[in-house]
Amino acid sequence: MPDRHAASRFMLPLAPVSLALAPFLRDAPAGSAPFLRSLRPADRDALHRAGQADDIGRYTSIEWPFTPEAADRLIAVAIADWQAGTAARFAIAEGAAGEIILGTASLLHIFPESSAAEIGYWLGAAGRGRGLAQAAAAALAAWALDDLGLAQVHLLVDLDNDASRAVARRAGFALAGEELWRHPSDPAKDGPVERWALDKAR
Ligand SMILES: CC(C)(COP(=O)(O)OP(=O)(O)OC[C@H]1O[C@@H](n2cnc3c(N)ncnc32)[C@H](O)[C@@H]1OP(=O)(O)O)[C@@H](O)C(=O)NCCC(=O)NCCS
Which domains does the chain possess?
33-199 (3.40.630.30)
- CA–CA distance, 71 with 51 (Å, rounded to integer): 9
Residue 60, φ and ψ in degrees, nearest 5:
-125, 175
Q: What is the pLDDT of residue 21?
A: 39
Q: Dihedral sign, CA of 139, 190, 116, 161?
A: negative
Q: Return the ligand 1 atom nearest residue 129 CA.
A: 12
Pocket flag, ligand 1, residue 123 (CB < 6 Å): yes
At 49 the pLDDT is 98
CB 132 less than 6 A from any atom of ligand 1? yes
Does residue 160 line the site of ligand 1, with CB under 6 A? no
Task: Give the span between the Cα atoms of 3 and 70, in whole angstroms.
Answer: 28
Ligand 1 centroid from CA 5, angstroms = 33
pLDDT recorded at residue 7:
34
Q: Which long-range contacts (CB under 8 A, 24 or more apart) does 68-77 make?
A: 68/44, 71/43, 71/44, 71/45, 71/47, 72/41, 72/44, 74/39, 74/47, 75/39, 75/40, 75/41, 75/43, 75/44, 75/47, 76/41
* Cα distances (angstroms) measured from residue 101 to each of 47, 83, 105, 198: 6, 22, 11, 27
Ligand 1 pocket, mutate which of 90, 123, 132, 178 (most atoms under 8 A from CB): 123
Task: Tell me if the pTM is above 0.85.
Answer: yes
Adjacent-strand bridge partners of 123: 103
Does residue 11 line the site of ligand 1, with CB under 6 A?
A: no
* pLDDT (0 to 100) of residue 83: 78
The CA–CA distances, whole Å, from 153 to 46, 117, 139 equal: 28, 5, 12
* Burial category of 138 from C-beta neighbours within 10 Å (exposed 0-12, middle 13-18, buried 19 and up): buried
pLDDT by residue for the chain (202 residues), tens digit each? 333 333 333 344 434 454 443 433 444 444 567 888 888 999 999 999 999 999 999 999 999 999 999 999 999 999 888 877 788 899 998 887 788 999 999 999 887 777 889 999 999 999 999 999 998 999 899 888 887 888 999 999 999 999 999 999 999 999 999 999 998 888 888 999 999 999 997 5
Query: Residue 65: is the preceding peptide bond cis (ω within 30°)?
Result: yes
Cβ 157 under 6 angstroms from ligand 1: yes
List the residue whose alpha carbon is closest to atom 33 of ligand 1.
166
pLDDT of residue 118: 95
**Cβ of 148 less than 6 Å from ligand 1:** no
134 lines ligand 1 (CB under 6 A): yes
Residue 164 beta carbon below 6 angstroms from any ligand 1 atom: yes
